């Protein structure tokens, strides 16, 4: 039975989606059907399609009472919207809404969703706090029914010293023996993040197993949106810490994305950390979620936004706010998390333009190199290894007034993305620097542009930098700059979707 609140949301989204033209949205990145989108939720493969749900407020381009929006795709790049599946319509989720969560397929073929229900509790006359619990819904890929015994995890399931106000974002998976586990983001009552591990025999009855990882005041405070999976013989914990302090070029201020790589004992639930790194070194990336594709690939999608800029970055007249990153295939190489755009993107490539061994200094433009929906690979080398160039830059989304730049200083091994001339009128973060692996002035960049974003894959996916852009999508110039002699290869394709 769909509630009145969900029926209204479904009616509203269907009508207001029509007010947004295709060319006013990203072409191959999933954006909200209407209103507001944040975290990816329930990313899964179900009944022959990829499913993506998302944190959704259909009524405004601002965060608000959380629904779950829904879209499906066969290639992770062309998405079709389906009706919203969850709305804040029960005692346990009616105030704050249905926060982030995950999906899996039950043995009987139904899809199980687990999400965080948020309700308000009056502590005193003036103090109201959110109480967060984990809840279930079961469905067929279109309609979902909330479980009658919700919530299935609440404060009584928490280990001592854990906060019941910050207890959210369950990510479930099925173990090889058919039982289930989930990780949930939490913090101690002193605000320090931790990830909790829960166990279930049937997906419906859950019990606390152990604290999987404790922050110990290393990376920000509360840890949101954990994900935990096996990859190339290791186990990977992804989580998104709030309130980070910067650490060198690895972690930046604010909301970050953390990757811990280690060993996991499935019997005891012990996780031994070995390495840590950022997931994305750009400006806009948060709360990623992964899924295991039928062909065995581990694919990750993040929310391509920065919480601290949300109410400032979008033009007021726009009827949508929020888009996802490109889906990225994950692997581990040399102890690091590598990310590559999903190979399905290759199918969108058209109009190949190649320039090999272009040696230049100063400003240059190249025949056929422009565009705003493109896949461009740059391979850089110093013309003279004894005398490295000082700086290389590529500028795109460029005309006489606007441009966004990616620049590289080989002597410092620093790569920078800078969108301050992208048309923004707000004093939000516009630049970010990352330390990259380079010697002798060599560097490989794969730059993917969609109408409202840039994603830079460095050295075949060793690092990624993502940023949203607000430059008019018709502005499509590209130029190159070098201080000193740079030799580069350029391979560029247009990325063409069915709407073209």
> Residue 34, interface with ligand FRU (CB under 6 A)?
no
- Which residues 277-336 are close enough to bind ligand FRU by CB under 6 A? 286-287
Q: From the CB of 129, what's the least distance to ligand FRU, in Å?
A: 15
| Number of continuous H segments (helices) and E segments (strands) in the chain | 2, 31
Nearer to ligand FRU, 242 or 463 (CB): 242
Residues 459 to 498 in contact with ligand FRU, rule: CB under 6 A = none
Task: For ligand FRU, give the closer residue by CB, 287 or 436.
Answer: 287
Q: Is 39 in the site for ligand FRU (CB under 6 A)?
A: yes
Binding to ligand FRU by CB under 6 A, coded x per residue (else -) over 211-250, reads: -------------xx-------------------------
Print the binding letters for residues 117-156 with ligand FRU: x by CB under 6 A, - otherwise: ----------------------------------------
Which three-class secondary structure state does DSSP give residue 111? Answer: strand
Size of site (CB under 6 A) for ligand FRU: 13
Whichever of 99 and 396 has its CB closer to ligand FRU, that residue is: 99
Cα 434–435–441 angle (5° rounding)? 115
Phi-psi region of 48 (alpha: psi -120 to 50; beta: other; left: phi over 0): left
Cβ at position 347, least distance to ligand FRU in Å: 31
Nearest to 185 by CA among 139, 225, 212: 225
Nearer to ligand FRU, 38 or 200 (CB): 38
Distances (CA, A) of 344 to 71, 73, 263, 347, 384: 18, 12, 31, 6, 38
DSSP element (H, E) containing 311: helix 310-313
* CB-nearer residue toward ligand FRU: 243 or 483: 243
Closest contact distance (angstroms) between CB of 39 and ligand FRU is 5
Q: Which residues of 226-246 are buried (b: 16+ CB within 10 A; e: fewer)?
A: bbbbebeebbbbbbbbbebee
Other CB atoms within a 10 A radius of the CB of residue 88 amount to 23
Q: Which is nearer to ligand FRU, 288 or 371 (CB)?
A: 288
Q: Closest separation between CB of residue 175 and ligand FRU, Å?
A: 24
460 is catalytic: no
Confirm if 117 and 92 have CB atoms less than 8 A apart: yes
From the list 31, 34, 55, 278, which residue makes contact with ligand FRU (rule: CB under 6 A)? 55
Contact at 8 Å (CB) between 290 and 43?
Answer: yes
Of 99, 109, 172, 160, the residue nearest 139 (C-alpha): 109
Q: Using alpha carbons only, what angle is made at residue 344 by residues 300 and 287, rounded to the nearest 5 degrees?
A: 15
Q: What share of the chain is helix, strand, coil (3-state, %, to 5)?
A: 5, 55, 40
Least distance from ligand FRU to the Cβ atom of residue 9, Å: 15
Tokens linked to 70? 């829904």
- Tokens 């060198």 identify what position? 248
169 binds ligand FRU (CB under 6 A): yes
Q: How far is the CB of 185 from ligand FRU (least distance, A)?
A: 6
Minimum CB separation of residue 204 from ligand FRU in Å reads 21
CB of 336 to ligand FRU, least distance (A): 25
Q: Which is nearer to ligand FRU, 309 or 436 (CB)?
A: 309
Our CB check for ligand FRU shows the closer of 88 and 473 to be 88
Q: Which of the residues 65 through 124 are near ligand FRU (CB under 6 A)? A: 66, 99-100, 116
Answer whether 358's CB lies under 8 Å from 366's CB: yes
Out of 31, 38, 134, 313, which residue is the one contacting ligand FRU (CB under 6 A)?
38
Element spanning 312, H or E: helix 310-313
Q: What is the 3-state secondary structure (H, E, C) of 216-240?
A: CCCCCCCEEEEEEEEECCEEEEEEE
Catalytic residue among 39, 93, 192, 227: 39
User: Looking at 168, 328, 372, 419, which residue binds ligand FRU (CB under 6 A)?
Assistant: 168
Which residues lie near ligand FRU (CB under 6 A)?
A: 38-39, 55, 66, 99-100, 116, 168-169, 224-225, 286-287
| Residues classed as catalytic | 39
């Amino acid at each position: 039975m769909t509630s009145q609140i969900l029926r209204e949301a479904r009616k509203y989204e269907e009508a207001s989606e029509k007010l947004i033209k295709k060319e006013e949205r990203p072409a191959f990145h999933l954006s909200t059907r209407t209103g507001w989108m944040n975290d990816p939720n329930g990313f899964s493969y179900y009944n022959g399609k990829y499913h993506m749900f998302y944190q959704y407020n259909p009524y405004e381009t601002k965060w608000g009472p959380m629904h779950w929006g829904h879209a499906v795709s066969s290639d992770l790049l062309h998405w079709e919207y389906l009706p919203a599946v969850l709305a804040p319509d029960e005692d346990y989720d009616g105030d704050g809404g249905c926060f982030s969560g995950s999906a899996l397929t039950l043995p009987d073929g139904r899809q199980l969703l687990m999400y965080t229900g948020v309700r308000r509790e009056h502590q005193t006359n003036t103090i109201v706090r959110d109480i967060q619990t984990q809840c279930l819904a079961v469905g067929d890929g279109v309609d979902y029914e909330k479980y009658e015994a919700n919530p299935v995890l609440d404060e009584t399931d928490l280990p001592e010293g854990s906060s019941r106000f910050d207890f959210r974002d369950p990510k479930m998976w099925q173990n090889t023996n058919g039982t289930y586990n989930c990780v949930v983001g939490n913090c101690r009552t002193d605000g320090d993040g931790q990830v909790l591990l829960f166990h279930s025999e049937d997906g419906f009855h859950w019990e606390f197993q152990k604290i999987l990882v404790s922050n110990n005041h290393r990376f920000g405070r509360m840890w949101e949106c954990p994900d935990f999976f096996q990859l190339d013989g290791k186990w990977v914990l992804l989580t998104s810490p709030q309130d980070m302090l910067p650490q060198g070029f690895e972690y930046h201020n604010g909301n970050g994305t953390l990757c811990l790589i280690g060993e996991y004992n499935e019997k005891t639930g012990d996780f031994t950390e070995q390495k840590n790194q950022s997931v994305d070194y750009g400006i806009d990336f948060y709360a990623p979620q992964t899924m295991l594709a039928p062909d065995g690939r581990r694919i990750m999608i993040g929310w391509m936004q920065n919480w601290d800029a949300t109410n400032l970055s979008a033009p007021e007249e726009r009827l949508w706010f929020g888009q996802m990153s490109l889906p990225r295939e994950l692997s581990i190489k040399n102890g690091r998390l590598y990310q590559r755009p999903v190979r399905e993107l290759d199918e969108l490539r058209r109009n190949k333009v190649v320039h090999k061994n272009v040696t230049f200094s100063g400003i240059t433009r190249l025949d056929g190199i422009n565009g705003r929906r493109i896949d461009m690979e740059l391979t850089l080398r110093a013309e003279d290894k004894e005398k490295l160039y000082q700086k290389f830059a590529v500028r795109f989304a460029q005309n006489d007034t606007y441009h966004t730049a990616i620049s590289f200083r080989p002597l410092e091994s620093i790569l920078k993305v800078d969108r301050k001339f992208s048309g923004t009128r707000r004093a939000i973060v516009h630049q970010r620097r990352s330390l990259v692996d380079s010697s002798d002035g060599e560097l490989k960049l794969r730059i993917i542009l969609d109408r409202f974003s840039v994603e830079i894959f460095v050295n075949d996916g060793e690092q990624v930098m993502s940023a949203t852009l607000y430059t008019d999508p018709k502005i499509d110039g590209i130029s190159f700059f070098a201080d000193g002699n740079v030799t580069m290869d350029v391979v560029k394709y247009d990325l063409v979707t069915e709407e073209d």
